[in-house]
Structure 1
């Protein structure tokens, strides 16, 4: 199999149709097909072999789409690196995945060269912007290839994507998405009830296309849709692009939705082209769903999924949202019903399904679900059992199949669509000499959904300040992981096992909230 054939087919069917739009750049399917063949052949010509790792470390731009599709054609392993990760985290990814080539933009080029030099990695840095001495010019690399079609045959079980995120231990981990998983992802998106893909459809990706916003690229390109990309998140630019590009569908995390709802241009923007506005990355509150429908019309949906499932596993369709507003308000607390060939269960600690309405852990099975973490056998054995992905989320199923998430089993915070693990922030805080004990939790935040809160017991005789501890973390962690606030206490609650009772700390901040996950 080869996933790149779907772009090649679309370029045959609709060569002059717009494939990618970003700012002033407008790429046709003909152009994208030719440049991805050149890049794929150039990579193979440099000695890269199928299944070897190639990473990207850049903000949104058309070249990320170009690179993704070229890697599909060449059968290479794609490693998208979050552009907000710190140097130590990037170095870990390069070492762990044995990355052979790293594509960067001007903003990240010098940092990338230093990281590669410091780690001694056998990794070539390529600069998309041709701006940094010491890096290979992207234009020169493209010139090494040619336009002849490239489609290296790969086994469906071979890894296709490693998307590193913070793990429950604070260490970066990557669910291994195979080529077969990605094909199943594409098929599921084409079969989703609210799918709006095809010639004439225009999808706007407002967030990083290396992550959730870009998960549907292959499906869009396989049907001749146009993918519009925001170079960076800007609320006004997002609204203007919806209108000027006549966007038919888009995806937002709840934080983006909050910013849109508060923006002065929101009420004057023309949304008449929209057919679907999907909210994901974290559950959205019922009131925000109502507000979204008031603004965009009856086109709002939300879904639930994880990196371990490659794509969404449930969807609350626009019709479901409308029914929730009109006659079944509980539906607005649901993340929907299972999509296409996905199976969803709620199970007890022994893995046995519980009756409808009872709480348990959410487990998922399907052809898009991954089977292992990269180089993490123990964590893999814990998460992937008997063909099921154990999500770590606690929920319940209604009699009619709607899934409700009520809490998280793992100590994870979702802030602005990013996963943040408490233990990682705690580890950084424990490095401060004035910290005796600390518990990090997610607390309600109207803008971010959840915000990182550190509850700290200072060492006797010391007087750490909130600003000092936040700055301390900012020097050690990616910006979205640092605490947004710090509370100081004399002691932390202890459970029966003599450990800090994180749930008791967390619950004190969530009392009165509609639910314990935003």
Structure 2
């Protein structure tokens, strides 16, 4: 019998909490993806083997390892294995073109790139353009010239690698891609402080510490089942053990956050390979998912599915919505269909946790104050928020719109290998988020736009906040999703243009849309043009892709 060796650490990390759970009740499920179901003991042993296999490629503590991965169980374990051996996780997202992907690998100084076989050709091209000549590894066999990491791991011992020094408090351990111009990505660098804060918050029992942002805290009462409905067949699990669905990309901040929250609390993590509303509903029901995080377009698509009805998901206790602005009308629809399980969270790659709105508070307070549906909650524990003016230094009073600035443990160290843009974003420990919003008298944060998405138009060059307009558009009959853009205009510099995804069979009149906007929000917000689409394009992480909409408009021209 092989006994797992334990290491002595100067400081405990989130991995120690994960492994504590995986040493208990070892036959219980830990990781699930379709027919692949790993117990805690199996997950632990596979993690250790992957750690040894990565070490066998010459990696040493502090080295960067790029992860260009799809949603699968082994993707979760590889990310853990990189941290297990003291290396730096560099998440490589699917959106960038080949030039930007190559620049990301180069700038992050990745010594190795682990790719999904589906992405192997792109990964090989990016690695080949890097002066660092990273080792290319694949999660399974592929046609490119790269080693099969899973095959290498199968030959390694299932014991924890020894001799890993503890990372320093200010040492980069995770790098998240935040976008940027071609050849100059923005890489948000985080230390173990982020994970320490996450562990503290997920283990907290205080509602005031922001459980709405954390999927496994304080489950709400189960929504009532529809008359005559019966529980769906599914896995047997302890009644107090959460089953968390990772529906967004694991290499994105939202998916990473979901996975870590689940694992540090001993929950079962179920991985959804790709989001499609019908299959997502099936997994939510059959796996008896108790908690999930969606970006807004995912939630909207789920609500629009004909099988998403009250009582359809009797196990569901928590739905966190984050990653982009949410429509108050859609949020209220979600509560009507799913029950009082809805939470909101706000964060970004530079600060994964900023605010939270717990399901219990949202359900009780919004009935008294309907405006709270537009809020993304209050600052989580150990996080401060200020709304600042144009110079980024002077705090503004309550209800004044300005830039959201935050300080706390979840804030990044800076942009990796980019002191110039770090200096622009961080001032005295405060992060300038680039989001515009305001605080009410009770500290609830309301976001109105990204600074770069504000539309400046009209004879007085006033601000049109795209979120305000989009929220209203989503209240109109037949509108399933909406996006507002500023497009070039000879007279006013920019003009408002909206794109609407309409429901099947809906008769939406663009002229009536404009009249409704004028009546509710005024002339300034009235769109110059309204485009009707079957659906809005989305990025790989599920957000509405305004870049694609803007590019399509530019290519077609304003009169086409």
Q: Compute the TM-score of the two structures, normalised by the length of structure 2.
A: 0.74
- 3-state secondary structure, aligned to 2:381: coil
Runs of 4+ in 1 over 6 A off after TM superposition: none
Shift of 1:14: 2.7
Pick from 169, 173, 178 the counterpart of residue 165 of structure 1: 178
Cα deviation digits, residues 313-334 of structure 1 (max 9, x gap): 1112223332454221111111
Alignment of 1:76-475 (within 5 A): 76-119=87-130, 121-150=132-161, 152=164, 153-167=166-180, 171-191=184-204, 192-194=210-212, 195-197=214-216, 200-211=241-252, 212-267=254-309, 270-309=312-351, 311-323=352-364, 325-348=366-389, 349=391, 351-411=393-453, 444=470, 450=483, 455=488
**Alignment CA distance shift 1:269-1:103 (3 Å):** farther
Distance 2:60 2:143 in 1: 26
CA distance, structure 1, for counterparts of residue 558 and residue 286 of structure 2: 52
Matched, 1:60 2:71: yes
Unaligned stretches of 5+ residues in structure 1:
414-440, 458-473, 491-518
What is aligned with 1:498? none
Contact 2:103/2:183, CA 8 A, preserved across alignment: no
In structure 2, the CA distance between the partners of 1:121 and 1:450, relative to structure 1 (3 Å rule), is farther
In structure 2, what is the Cα distance between the partners aligned to 1:326 and 1:108? 47
1:30 aligns with 2:72: no
C-alpha distance in structure 2 between counterparts of 1:455 and 1:98, whole Å: 39
Secondary structure of 1:197's match? coil
- Distance (whole Å) between structure 1 residues aligned to residue 146 and residue 257 of structure 2: 28
CA distance in 1, matches of 2:400, 2:485: 30
Question: Using a 3 Å threshold, how does the CA distance of structure 1 residues 296 and 55 change in structure 2: closer, same or farther?
Answer: same
* In structure 2, C-alpha distance between the alignment counterparts of 1:213 and 1:278, rounded to whole Å: 12
Instruction: Indicate the larger mover: 156-165 or 242-251.
Output: 156-165
Cα pair 2:290 2:317 within 8 Å, conserved:
yes
Q: Give, in whole Å, the separation in 1 of the partners of 2:306 and 2:396.
A: 47
Q: Distance in 2 between matches of 1:351 and 1:21?
A: 47
Residue 90 of structure 2 aligns to a residue whose secondary structure is strand
SS at match of 1:215: helix
- Residues 188, 341 of structure 1: 8 Å contact kept: no
The count of aligned residue pairs is: 444
User: Which 10-residue stretch deviates more, 261-270 or 161-170?
Assistant: 161-170
Aligned pair in 2 of structure 1 residues 394, 132: CA closer, same or farther (>3 Å)? same
How far 1:387 moved relative to its partner? Answer: 1.1
Following TM superposition, by how much is the alpha carbon of 1:273 offset from its aligned partner in structure 2, in angstroms?
0.9
Q: 1: distance between equivalents of 2:297 and 2:172?
A: 32
Whole-angstrom CA distance in 1 between matches of 2:558 and 2:325: 31
Contact preservation (8 Å) 1:14, 1:224? no
- Could you tell me which residue of structure 2 aligns to residue 71 of structure 1? 82
2:553 maps to 1:486: yes
Cα gap change, 1:486 to 1:190, in 2 (>3 Å): same
Partner residue of 2:233? none
Contact 2:67–2:79 (Cα < 8 Å) also in 1: no
CA distance 1:452–1:411, change in 2 (3 Å): closer
- Superposition deviation, residue 452 in structure 1: 6.6
Query: Contact conserved, 1:45 with 1:145, CA < 8 A, in 2?
Result: no
2:245 is paired with a residue of what secondary structure?
strand
C-alpha offsets along residues 434-471 of structure 1, whole Å, 9 cap, x if unaligned?
A: xxxxxxx99958656537776499xxxxxxxxxxxxxx
The 1:81–1:322 alpha-carbon spacing in structure 2 relative to 1, beyond 3 Å, is same
- For residue 517 of structure 2, what is the aligned residue in structure 1? none
How far has the Cα of 1:274 moved from its partner? 1.2
Taking a change above 3 Å as real, the CA distance of residues 453 and 27 of structure 1, as seen in their structure-2 partners, is: farther
Is residue 303–residue 316 contact of structure 1 (8 Å, CA) maintained in 2? yes
